[in-house]
């Protein structure tokens, strides 16, 4: 059965690859773009099946209008992919509140808003699938990425709760958690804090330099990821968590091992904090 997709952030990266793969496999894709001059190129990606939606996901009116545009044209939205976002780098002491707000608005508030906008239609049709493009950084904190971590941790927190809330309506939720993929995330799509402190050069600074160094040579293939995500849209029991790539899988296992070690070390005292 042909499905209708709404994918945010389709100008580059995984969002672009996913839109192309989904449309080439026969589904209908509405992709959001922030610039009018980008629209014709996306419409021509797979003519007749890729439709451009002019939308800044941080604009509540534009988001509501864009979702209604799709519902008016198609009557339903089967798959929402909250992909739009950006990487923000800086040690915790370096970042200011304006930078924090910018990151949280795009990576957390905007996906939350779009979920709220599509859920009424999905509940009415008794089916739907929401893919939240998170990151291995949504499960494991990393120096230099603290605010990015916070935005993805927040995305994962509400998504886990939402998954339980919407399951009775036939709606599935998956948190897609890539490691390094060959996109512009660590390059021109990323932002560095305005303030840079030499005191953090060997921790946060070193990590940020490493990320910039391998940008464009990452192991992850966006089109292979897109193929997997398309297959998930046809799966009757998709996972809640989907670490993408070997580094992501290794990162998840490393953190889970650390958590288990902490629990075992402190369990005897931790469990004695209850009333007798």
**12-40 as b/e: b if 16+ CB within 10 A:** ebbbbbbbbbbbebebbbbbbbeeeebee
Give CA–CA dist 1/126, Å, rounded: 15
Q: Which residues contact 269 (CB under 8 A, 6 or more apart)?
A: none
* Residue 73 confidence (pLDDT): 97
The number of C-alpha atoms within 13 Å of 109 and in the hemisphere containing its C-beta is: 12
Pick the catalytic residue from 11, 151, 152, 233.
Answer: 152
* Annotation marks residue 65 as catalytic: no
- DSSP letter string over 130-186? EEEE--GGGTS--TT-HHHHHHHHHHHHHHHHHHHHHGGGTEEEEEEEE-SBSSSTT
Three-class SS state of 193: coil
- Asked whether the beta carbons of 75 and 48 are under 8 A apart, the reply is no
Give CA–CA dist 205/111, Å, rounded: 29
The reply to whether the predicted model has a pTM over 0.85 is yes
- Asked whether the beta carbons of 87 and 185 are under 8 A apart, the reply is yes
Give CA–CA dist 253/250, Å, rounded: 5
* Annotation marks residue 129 as catalytic: no
* Annotation marks residue 148 as catalytic: yes
Q: Which residues contact 215 (CB under 8 A, 6 or more apart)?
A: 184, 185, 186, 187
* Residue 190 confidence (pLDDT): 76
* Residue 179 confidence (pLDDT): 85
The domains found in the chain, sorted by start residue, are 4-273 (3.40.50.720)
Pick the catalytic residue from 148, 151, 193, 215.
Answer: 148
Q: 251 forms bridges with which residues in the sheet?
A: none
- Dihedral of CA atoms 30, 245, 177, 28 in degrees, nearest 10, equals 10
Tell me the average confidence (pLDDT) per consecutive run of 10 residues in the chain, 276 residues long: 96 94 98 96 97 97 97 97 95 97 97 98 98 95 96 98 98 94 66 95 92 73 94 97 94 96 97 92
Phi then psi for residue 25, to 5 deg, are -85, 0
Pick the catalytic residue from 11, 30, 129, 134.
Answer: 134
115: exposed, middle or buried (C-beta count within 10 Å: 0-12, 13-18, 19+)?
Answer: buried
């Amino acid at each position: 059965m042909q499905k209708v997709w709404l994918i945010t952030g389709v100008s580059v990266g995984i969002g672009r690859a996913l839109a192309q793969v989904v449309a080439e496999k026969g589904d209908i894709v509405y992709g959001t773009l922030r610039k009018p001059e980008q629209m014709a190129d996306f419409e021509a990606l797979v003519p007749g099946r890729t439709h451009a939606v002019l939308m800044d996901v941080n604009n509540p009116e534009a988001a509501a209008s864009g979702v209604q545009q799709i519902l008016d044209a198609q009557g339903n939205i089967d798959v929402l992919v909250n992909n739009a976002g950006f990487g923000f780098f800086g040690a915790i002491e370096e970042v200011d509140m304006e930078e924090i707000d910018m990151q949280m608005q795009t990576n957390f508030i905007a996906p939350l808003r779009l979920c709220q906008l599509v859920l009424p239609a999905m509940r009415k049709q008794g089916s739907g699938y929401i893919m939240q493009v998170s990151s291995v950084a949504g499960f494991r904190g990393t120096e230099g990425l603290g605010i990015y971590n916070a935005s993805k941790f927040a995305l994962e927190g509400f998504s886990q709760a939402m998954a339980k809330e919407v399951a009775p309506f036939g709606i599935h939720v998956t948190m897609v958690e890539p490691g390094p993929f060959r996109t512009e995330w660590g390059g021109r799509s990323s932002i560095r804090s305005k303030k840079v402190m030499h005191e953090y050069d060997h921790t946060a600074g070193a990590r940020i330099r490493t990320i910039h160094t391998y940008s464009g040579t990452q192991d992850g293939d966006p089109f292979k990821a897109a193929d997997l995500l398309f297959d998930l849209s046809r799966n009757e029991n998709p996972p809640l968590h989907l670490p993408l790539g070997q580094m992501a899988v290794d990162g998840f296992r490393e953190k889970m091992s650390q958590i288990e070690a902490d629990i075992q070390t402190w369990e005897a005292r931790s469990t004695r904090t209850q009333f007798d």
